[in-house]
Amino acid sequence: MSIKSILKQNLLKLVLTATIIGCNPASNQKNIQQERAVERPKVNVKMDVNSRDINKPPWSTVSEYDEFIRSTVDNYYDSDVRDIYNFYNIKRDLPKYGFKSKETEFICFDCEGAIYKEYFGSTYIDSIYFYSTCSEEMFNKYIGYSAKNKEDIKEELTNRIHHYIKHESAHAFYSELGRRLGKTHLFKTISDSTSTLEKIQYTLVEEGVADYMAYKGELTWSAKRLNDGNFKEMIENENDSHLYELGFLLIKPILDTNFEKGIKELIRNPLTKKDLNDLPGYREKRIENIIK
């Protein structure tokens, strides 16, 4: 079977599974709440699931789930943020953090996630918010999906929470450095009227930086499956489903060359519409400027 046929078959399985359990696979839907999701969880589709394969849900109510999220974040927040900041020799206070409800449904994992908020209105708040509650309907879909597709729901969610903490604390660093360099409101507003290409233009680099830092420069397995040819496909098809992975691929050679200089170079040279037509060229120009 050809690679193309395998990909089509896997995509069909994903769509069918998502349809059966009543939720949508990750797509290029816009986030009308102006909120940024972290890396999309990798969906491990199992088509031949029977009753003995389904895990017993670890939480029976939203309140139990909320308690688990809060306690896990409380236990690991300081150490995870300090791990990333110490690794990159970043001298800044830890961003504040809190919890909120997830109200908009896009994919099966919408009960969980996190967001960094630089401002609330005109007030600088420098805070990370973790989603710890959602509607009963969304919670039941989430638990049903997780029970069918995860061997250890608590362990996998704990691992993702570690990533959420590190990814969003990287956003906090990037944002604060942008402010100090005179680039205020570095994160562009994403609204219902924002086109997919604009979303890619505004977020590709910053999400790539956040994942680069969260994974300490080591490409994820999903990013390794892509290459520079996928940049053109993303733009031509206006498909942001691999935005995080491709952002990681785009900026990795830049930050590998010199992390401190590379971060500043990216902040001072945000992506333009023209850059979208030649993302490898954008990368090469940034590297040339760093090594001058």
Q: Is 99 helix (H, G, I), strand (E, B) or coil?
A: strand
Residues 90 and 205 in one domain: no
Residues 95 and 127 in one domain: yes
Residues 132 and 68 in one domain: yes
> Do 110 and 138 form a contact (C-beta atoms < 8 A)?
yes
E strand map for 197-238: none
**16 within some domain:** no
Residues 117 and 204 in one domain: no
Cα separation, 288 vs 282, whole angstroms: 10
The dihedral over CA atoms of 191, 197, 200, 202, expressed in degrees to the nearest 10, equals -60
Cα separation, 154 vs 144, whole angstroms: 14
Residues 148 and 262 in one domain: no
Domain count, the chain: 2
Q: What is the chain's Cα-based Rg?
A: 19
**Residue 153 pLDDT:** 87
**Residue 188 pLDDT:** 72
The closest of 19, 43, 38 to 146, measured between CA atoms, is 43
User: What's the pTM value of the predicted model, to 2 decimals?
Assistant: 0.83
Q: Is 242 helix (H, G, I), strand (E, B) or coil?
A: coil
Residues 112 and 256 in one domain: no
Residues 167 and 204 in one domain: no
> Do 62 and 145 form a contact (C-beta atoms < 8 A)?
no
**Residue 105 pLDDT:** 58
**256 within some domain:** yes
Of the candidates 146, 180, 214, which is a domain's last residue?
180
Cα separation, 15 vs 18, whole angstroms: 5
For residue 36, what are its two tokens? Answer: 């940024």
Q: Which domain holds residue 103?
A: 28-38+58-180
**6 within some domain:** no
Amino acid in the structure at residue 37? A
**Residue 42 pLDDT:** 43
Of the candidates 122, 147, 180, which is a domain's last residue?
180
The H or E element spanning position 117 is strand 114-120
Give me the percent of the chain exceeding a pLDDT of 70.
78
**9 within some domain:** no
Residues 230 and 112 in one domain: no
Residues 94 and 160 in one domain: yes
> Angle between the 136-149 and 3-21 helix axes, to the nearest 10 degrees?
140
Of the candidates 132, 154, 180, which is a domain's last residue?
180
Residues 227 and 283 in one domain: yes
The closest of 29, 33, 45, 10 to 145, measured between CA atoms, is 45
Name residue, tokens 């496909």: 233
**Residue 191 pLDDT:** 78
Burial grade of 101 (CB within 10 A; 0-12, 13-18, 19 or more): middle
**108 within some domain:** yes
Cα separation, 267 vs 184, whole angstroms: 10
Q: In the chain, which residues have pLDDT < 50?
A: 1-53
Residues 138 and 34 in one domain: yes
